Each structure stands twice: as structure tokens, then as C-alpha cells.
Copies of this chain bind each other. A is one copy, B any other.
Amino acid sequence: MNQLNATPDQTKNTACFSCENLARLTEIMDEHKYSAGSYLFWEGDAADKLYYLKKGRVKITKSSDEGRQIMLYMHQEGDMFGQVDPFHPSTHSFHAQALEDVTVGVIRHNDLEVLLWQYGDLAVEFMKWMGLMHRMTQSKFRDLILFGKPGALCSLLIRLGNSYGDVRENGIFISRKFTNAELGEMIGATRESVNRMLGDLKQNHAIEYVNGHIVIKNLTYLCDICRCENCPKDICRI
């Protein structure tokens, strides 16, 4: 866990792109705005675009027909997301909901393809970006399946630390607040389970609450529970 206190730049999932190529991408974007709570796309919508998040946060969720819902990603400023696959027409398999008022740049697949055709280095960077996204998914997969809910929760806390953590003398201060229900949604557990597990962690002085914010006191303790592999911070995030 040497990846804490990352600068904002380092935690963008577009870190793979050079300024030059980011500019090229920016050129083919259309700007759109969505208000907090609205959906950028729904499961089943045509997936022919990518989204570059300029402002705000977006969560990508999958919902089982009745009620239960699991959050797959929570994207923040500077992230790019969307679906790329070889089917025409292809459809989204997730929902994307704005958590705050959001400004996105929309990139159409067709425009992107032209750009990839033209600029080999962009294609290579793009491929690396996709690889990164894939590894994020795989790493989450591992955490959620292999070490039970407590493992998933600890891994989540570490990820939150990497994404929103502020290293202070008394621990890693997580600069956003989350309700137990939100945490549960992120790891496929119930509010109550999360509550009990957090209680355990508090008792073991692994974390504490400072006016509503989680502070990680003992990172090693968390790492042990989820068998943290010290993966790069670009992967181990929300």
C-alpha cells in the first residue's frame, strides 16, 4: 500500500492518455449535462457512445429484477466509461446514474474508430485504457468472491482510501461520506451486515469515525482480511 496520497491526476482512469491524445478525443466530444439522480443510460439502451466525465460523479449499477442492486463502478471527474464491443447494434448491460450534477463529453463509436485508424499511438493508449478497466473489474471480482463479505468490505475501504483518502497524522481520512446502505450496495451486502462489520473494525481499532467520515487507523489490518496484493492504485480504486 504505497499508493496513498495520490494526486488527483493519478487516480483518473484516463491517466493512460497523453495530453495530445486527450485533446484529440476532446475534439470529437459533444458536451451534455445531466442533473443529479438522472440516468445517462439504461440497461438495454443502444451502446454506441463513450462518456468522458468532466464534472461530477456517475455510478454504474446492475440491478436484479426485484430491488437488489449492485454498484459496479463509481466514476469521478476525469474518468472515461462506456461500453465497447463488437456487436452492432449492441446494448448497454448496466445503468449509469448521475450522483451529482454532471457534465460529460460524449464520444460516438464511429468517430472514435476514425481517430483510432488515424493515430496509432492513440490506438495503443486506448488499448491500455481498456486493459486497465478490465483489470479493475477483475480485481473487484476477486475481492467480492474470494474472501467473503468482510474481505469485500475491507477491500472497499482500501479502495475508498485510494480514491478519496487524505493521509493525516491520525490515519487516512476519507473525504466523502457514505451511508452504510451505499457501502453495502458497493459490495453486494445489506446495510445491517455492513453496520456489524464496521462495528467489529471499530472495536479492533482498524477504523474510526470522525464527524461522519471514516478514518482508516490500521491499514495493515484491513489488508490482512482481504489479502491485499498491493496492486497499483490505478486498479485498486472505486
Chain A contacts to B: CB under 8 angstroms? 15-16, 62, 64-65, 68, 70, 72, 83-87, 93-94, 113, 116-118, 120-121, 123-135, 137-142, 144-147, 188, 227, 229, 231-232, 234-235
Given contacts A120-B118, A138-B93, contact A127 B229 (CB under 8 A): no
Given contacts A116-B123, A138-B137, contact A84 B131 (CB under 8 A): yes
B86 near A131 (CB under 8 angstroms)? yes
Q: Which residue of B lies closest to A129 (CB)?
A: B86
Q: Which label, helix, strand, loop or mixed, suits the secondary structure of the A interface?
A: helix
CB distance from A149 to the nearest CB of B (A): 11
Q: Which residue of B lies closest to A118 (CB)?
A: B120
Q: Which residue of B lies closest to A188 (CB)?
A: B145
The 8 closest A-B pairs by CB, nearest first: A117-B120, A123-B123, A84-B131, A86-B128, A85-B131, A130-B130, A16-B86, A134-B134
Q: Which residue of B lies closest to A115 (CB)?
A: B120
Bound Cα distance from A120 to B124, whole angstroms? 10
Q: Which residue of B lies closest to A63 (CB)?
A: B146
**Residues of chain B within 8 A of A83, CB atoms compared:** 131, 135
Given contacts A120-B117, A188-B145, contact A93 B231 (CB under 8 A): yes
Q: Which residue of B lies closest to A131 (CB)?
A: B84
- What 19 additional pairs, Cβ within 8 angstroms, besides A68-B146, A70-B146, A86-B234? A62-B142, A62-B146, A70-B145, A72-B138, A84-B130, A86-B128, A87-B232, A87-B234, A94-B138, A117-B120, A117-B121, A117-B123, A118-B120, A120-B120, A123-B123, A123-B124, A133-B134, A137-B138, A137-B141
